[in-house]
Amino acid sequence: MLARHQDPIVAIATAPGRGAVGIVRVSGRGLDALVQAVCGRTLKPREATYLPFRDAQGQAIDQGLALYFPGPHSYTGEDVLELQAHGGPVVLQLLLARCLEAGAATDPATGQPNLRGLRVAQPGEFTERAFLNDKIDLAQAEAIADLIDASTEAAARSASRSLTGAFSAEIHGLRDALIHLRMLVEATLDFPEEEIDFLRKADAHGQLSNLQQTLASVMQRARQGALLREGIKVVIAGQPNAGKSSLLNALAGAELAIVTPIAGTTRDKVQQTIQIEGVPLHIIDTAGLRDSEDEVERIGIARAWDEIAGADAVLFLHDLERADAPEYIAGDADIANAMAQKMPKSIPVIDVWNKLDRAPGAAAAAGENARPGVHLSARTGEGLDGLRRLLLEVAGWQSAPEGLYIARARHVEALQAVGAHLQEAADQLQAQGPALDLLAEELRLAQNALSAITGEFSSDDLLGVIFSSFCIGK
């Protein structure tokens, strides 16, 4: 544990701005003198007390509720004081300053500061203390931030399940089974003449196979949970006046982008997050792709290509009204060739044939030579449901299984590493004259990758990255 983790900390724990209630939170060891200085009395543990919060001269800064949670029975595992005041920014800043002042003041009885080293908390430091003091594991700590940041109801419910330990329980189950198998393998290293028979009798192969099957199930749910948290970035691309802005408006259900018959109206990206079955989709409308002499439009087109290159999926929009026009066909072909050169092949492209209401007879003809896609009318909404289903399919979303938990990209990557190590272990076990020391090492690496998810095996750098994304006061 770093030296800074020993410091008492204080912060405003509610969001910036005005509100009915605001909270100032203090965490550390030995808060009795600070409580007496700010509240003017001792507090009963875990009992809300209505009283004035006093400045150094004994004058009331505000009146509100004070709650005291002695460690280890608190959020952080340390002593915690929460001051719930009126939610004005000035009032909360005065309370924060008063806590810092009272912490630095000298206790007449001891001649020492009331709370040595009290400082303003860094982002996520209260939750980091909870993790370091074994109140929660790392996956649960991340779930707190995910619950706060959830953009859909499904994401919030899944984050709540992770916070209660559903995801961690799955990881611990895998870890325990892996530890049991490691014990069997490492025990045989001391008895080389009996090692193969011993592992055969213990059904090491069957245990490893069961581990791989369980891991596959956990990974499938983790991928779904990561989709709920991260969503996918979908870029709408195509020639000018194909209906890109109209499609964005139709998917979002609001007039976000300006729509005119003038080519080149959209010159910069317009973005909106929507949800389909609880999955966030970050839809980006871009400038029409064409050769242009207009400097501003060229900048917009360059930005469009940047967005396309970084997309999770691209909607290549085509205009059914112009589907038979030679110039339009040539323009679409140029865009398709540029996509093939500038985009990673792993990015899926969905052909969307728009303006079905204006050219209903062109749908079949367009579909004959086009890649699998969808025909729709952004103006009337016909075909939009088919596009939504196709987007979920491209994202890899399946019907949300019961009890789905939130997950992050790093969790999925860690599980993939576990799978790779288990496969290496299986290959060693099936080989003629297996090298059990290599088998044991692969199992150890698999366990380390699992433990990185819950924080049992993690670096300080990783913790710094994770908790720095939290809000101050959490």
Say whether 325 counts as a known binding-site residue: no
Is residue 252 marked as binding? no
pLDDT value of residue 289: 81
What CA–CA distance (Å, rounded) separates 242 from 317?
Answer: 6
379 is in an annotated binding site: yes
266 annotated as belonging to a binding site for a ligand: yes
Helix (H, G, I), strand (E, B) or coil at 152: coil
Least confident stretch, 100-104, 187-191, 244-248, 418-422: 187-191
160 and 301 share a domain? no
**285 marked as part of a ligand binding site:** yes
Q: Which of 29, 173, 14, 213 is nearest to 114 (CA)?
A: 29
Query: According to the annotation, is 246 in a ligand binding site?
Result: yes
| Residue 261 is assigned to a ligand binding site | yes
CA atoms of 47 and 60, how far apart (whole Å): 21
Determine if residue 245 is labeled as part of a ligand binding site.
yes
| 105 part of a folded domain | yes
321 and 299 part of one domain: yes
Helix axes 153-163, 204-230, angle to 10 degrees: 140
Statement to judge: residues 33 and 128 lie in one domain: yes
Same structural domain, 391 and 242: yes
pLDDT per position as a tens digit, 84-119? 999 999 999 999 999 999 988 877 777 677 788 899
Q: What is the pLDDT of residue 193?
A: 56
Residue 41 maps to which CATH number?
Answer: 3.30.1360.120
Tens digit of each residue's pLDDT (9 = 90 or more) over 204-231: 888 999 999 999 999 988 888 888 888 8
Tokens representing 106 are 């000298």
Residue 288 marked ligand-binding: yes
The answer to whether 244 is annotated as binding is yes
Whether 106 and 161 map to the same domain: the answer is: no
Alpha carbons 201 and 197: distance in angstroms, whole number: 6
Does the annotation list 446 as a binding residue?
no
- 322 annotated binding-site participant: no
Domains of the chain: total: 3
Q: Do 239 and 365 share a domain, yes or no?
A: yes
Considering the domain architecture, whether residues 378 and 275 belong to the same structural domain is answered as yes
pLDDT at 4: 73
Is residue 116 assigned to a domain?
yes
Of 19-28, 95-104, 132-141, 336-345, the range with the lowest mean pLDDT is 336-345
- pLDDT on residue 191: 62
| Residue 338 structure tokens | 């540029």
Helices (H), 138-284: 138-149, 153-163, 166-188, 195-201, 204-230, 244-252
25 marked among binding-site residues: yes
pLDDT of residue 38: 94
Using the 3D structure, point to which of 91, 115, 136 is the last residue of a domain: 136
Across residues 269-296, what is the average pLDDT?
81
Spatial neighbors of 157 by CB under 8 A, at least 6 apart, are none
206 is in an annotated binding site: no
What does the mean pLDDT of the chain come to?
A: 85
Q: Does 263 count as an annotated binding residue?
A: yes
* Long-range Cβ contact pairs of 154-158 (< 8 A, separation 24 or more): 154/228, 154/275, 154/277, 154/278, 154/279, 154/400, 154/404, 155/228, 155/229, 155/278, 155/280, 155/406, 158/225, 158/228, 158/229, 158/404, 158/405, 158/406
Residue 13's pLDDT band (cuts 50, 70, 90): very high
| 195 has a pLDDT exceeding 60 | no
Lowest mean per-residue pLDDT among 1-5, 22-26, 317-321: 1-5
Q: What angle do CA 97, 103, 106 make, to 5 degrees?
A: 125
Q: What is the pLDDT of residue 144?
A: 92
Looking at the structure, do residues 194 and 131 belong to the same domain, yes or no? no
Closest CA to 275 of 317, 314, 230: 230
* Residue 474 annotated as lining a ligand binding site: yes
pLDDT of residue 364 exceeding 60, the answer is: no
pLDDT of residue 409 exceeding 80, the answer is yes
Q: Give a yes or no: residue 465 inside a domain.
A: no
The reply to whether 262 sits in an annotated binding site is yes
Return the CATH number at 204.
1.20.120.430
241 annotated ligand-binding residue:
yes
44 carries a ligand binding annotation = no
| Mean pLDDT calculated for residue range 38-65 | 95
* 264 assigned ligand-binding residue: yes
